[in-house]
Every structure is written in structure tokens, then in C-alpha cells.
Amino acid sequence: WWGNCKSPSMLRTTYTENTTSSEESPCTGRCSVTISGLMDDLCEDKEGRTECLLCPPGWMLHRGRCYYFSEQSGSWDASMRNCSGRKSQLLVVEDEAEMEFIETRTEKKYFWIGLNFQEKKWMWLGDSQLEGHRLSLVMANGTGDGKNCFAFKKEKLYPEKCLTSHRWICKKNATLLAPWNTPEH
């Protein structure tokens, strides 16, 4: 199926070779066909599209991001490590539309997200401070009693002890699948 392109890693290598040197690669010309074949097999709603966004199996695609809703439970730190192992991070909410998307998929269960209380302020993973989001309007309780990690349930955020066991939500960017010979690439 791969032709002279022995594996997906060879596809990546070929792309690098073709963009950094003038030497002919064993995949030249054939890799675009392979990408088209992958698009035929993997992309939904292909009609007239030259690219698509993909998520790993078991993840959900929404607005260019992939979301993993765990079935198992663990502490906030264990959840963070699990997301990291999936090359993602605990959910950092970007806007109200994302919050609404999450609300429709979490039922009545608690899910860890990438928000905790450090140095007397709410902090998203990646050190960005919580500013202006509607999250301040949906806080269920104040922090206290060592409840420094946040779980999401329905439309509220709940401060919880970080060792409490909850499910979690991981998030990462979707993978763009597109032929290399398109003008944008």
C-alpha cells in the first residue's frame, strides 16, 4: 500500500528531504498518491476537500481540537501524566463555545481539567492566568481545605482535593492531513 514509501515515518522523512534538498527521494511523486489514499480511507465528508483534520481513535474532534474523555479515574496528577503520555494536556478551556461542547459530553460525572489554585490565584496549565472567562461565574464553591484542583461537572467547576479520584479530559490539536503539493503547504 505504501509503494516505495515503506512507512509513515518515511513519509515524514521524504517531506523533510524534499523541502531541504534537491536530491530525488524514493517517494517522490508516490507519497502524494499515498496521502490521497489515506484521505480516502480516513477523512469524513471528502467531497471537494483537499485536507482534513484527524484525531486518534477514541478521541472526539471539535473545532480543530481533539478531546479524550477518560473512562477510568485517578488523581489530578495521575490525570495530568496520562494526558502527557497521550501527547496532550488536561483540558484548558479557551472559550464559551468549548465549555458548551464539554457540557454536552460529560453527563453528570466529574472530570479533572487543567485548572488549579496556586499562589492565591487560579492557574491554567501552561501558566496562563484565568482572565475574563465565564468560569468565574460558574464556580460552585470557593477554594479551601486543600481543594486546589478543579473538576468539571455539568456546567460548574468544583474545587477538589487533588488526590480525589475522578475521570479527566485531555485536549490536543488535531492532525492536518493534506497532500504536500497543495499551494498552502
**What's residue 35's pLDDT?**
65
3-state secondary structure of 167: strand
Task: Tell me the domains of the chain and their CATH numbers.
Answer: 8-42 (no CATH), 60-172 (3.10.100.10)
Distance between CA atoms of 93 and 106, rounded to whole angstroms? Answer: 14
Q: Is the torsion defined by CA of 141, 142, 146, 148 positive or negative?
A: positive
Helix (H, G, I), strand (E, B), or coil: what is residue 43?
Answer: coil
| SS3 state at 176 | strand
For 116-121, which contacts have Cβ atoms below 8 Å and span 24 or more sequence positions?
A: 116/76, 116/148, 116/149, 116/150, 116/162, 117/143, 117/147, 117/148, 117/149, 117/150, 117/159, 118/148
pLDDT score recorded for residue 31: 60
Give backbone dihedrals phi and psi of 68, rounded to 5 degrees, phi first: -115, 120
Which pLDDT belongs to residue 33? 58
How far apart CA 35 and CA 185 sit, in angstroms, is 13
Give dist(CA 70, CA 61) in Å, integer: 15
Among residues 103, 109, 167, 166, the alpha carbon closest in space to that of 138 is found at 103
pLDDT of residue 118: 76
Please tell me the predicted confidence (pLDDT) of residue 12: 40
* Res 143: pLDDT: 55
- For residue 150, is it left (φ>0), alpha (ψ between -120 and 50) or beta? beta
Mean pLDDT by 10 residues, the chain (185 residues): 41 38 50 65 65 91 96 97 97 87 90 86 69 48 73 87 97 85 49
If one counts every other C-beta atom within 10 angstroms of the C-beta of residue 83, the result is 23
